[in-house]
Amino acid sequence: MSSATIEKYKLGLNLPSDPRWVNIAEKSIEDILIDHAFCEQKAASTGISLIVHFSDKKELVEAITPIVAEEWDHFGLVLKELKLRGFELGKKRKDDYAIALFKLERTGGARDAQLVEKLLISAMIEARSCERFRLLSLHINDDRLKKFYHGFMVSEAGHYKTFLGLAKFYMPADYVSARWKEYLIAEAEIMRSMEMRADRFH
């Protein structure tokens, strides 16, 4: 993979993941795959929630419907990989990263501004996921998983761009860019404060 391609999938995050994360994840691939599966399930659920709550937004419904389908397909792919390796999905896990991000959400105000908050949080989760997929696709020793995660990396990058594009459709670009910068700064602080765990994808 060229350096230009690698840069494309960093997506401007203020704080890159600790490269040691791949080594830790690799030693606990069952937990990483399980957590990944739940991340895909939650991404599909979030997309459905956006459609339900903003069903009058034609452009949003048309853009997010295929993302929901793709995220659910990804959930199935991870389940298949778990089964192939003799693992089971098990119980739902708490997502401290997503919980911390949603605490940043501004509530109240204009409805479009509320929508943009949700879109930016979704974009941030996709950006960090893409960055983690990139690390796995480059550095994990399992060749099958390298290819597996490369596909997810490309997909998440597309989702990230869609969410940001929608945000700029519903609110002025200057407003969205300024708010996105605030999210980037806050997300970096969240990453610094969180313990690097072998049983969590984020």
pTM, two decimals, is 0.92
The tens digit of pLDDT for each residue in 140-188 reads 999 999 999 999 999 999 999 999 999 999 999 999 999 999 999 999 9
- Of 136, 120, 112, 103, residue with least CA distance to 178: 120
Both structure tokens of 168? 């700029």
Q: What sections of 14-171 are H helices per DSSP? A: 20-26, 29-53, 58-84, 96-102, 111-139, 143-170
Report the pLDDT value the prediction gives residue 10, as an integer from 0 to 100: 52
79-110: pLDDT as tens digits: 999 999 999 998 887 889 999 999 999 998 89
Confidence of residue 3 (pLDDT cuts 50, 70, 90): very low
Name the CATH topology of 22-193.
Answer: Ferritin (1.20.1260)
With cut-offs at 50, 70 and 90, classify the pLDDT of residue 1. very low
pLDDT value, residue 7: 47
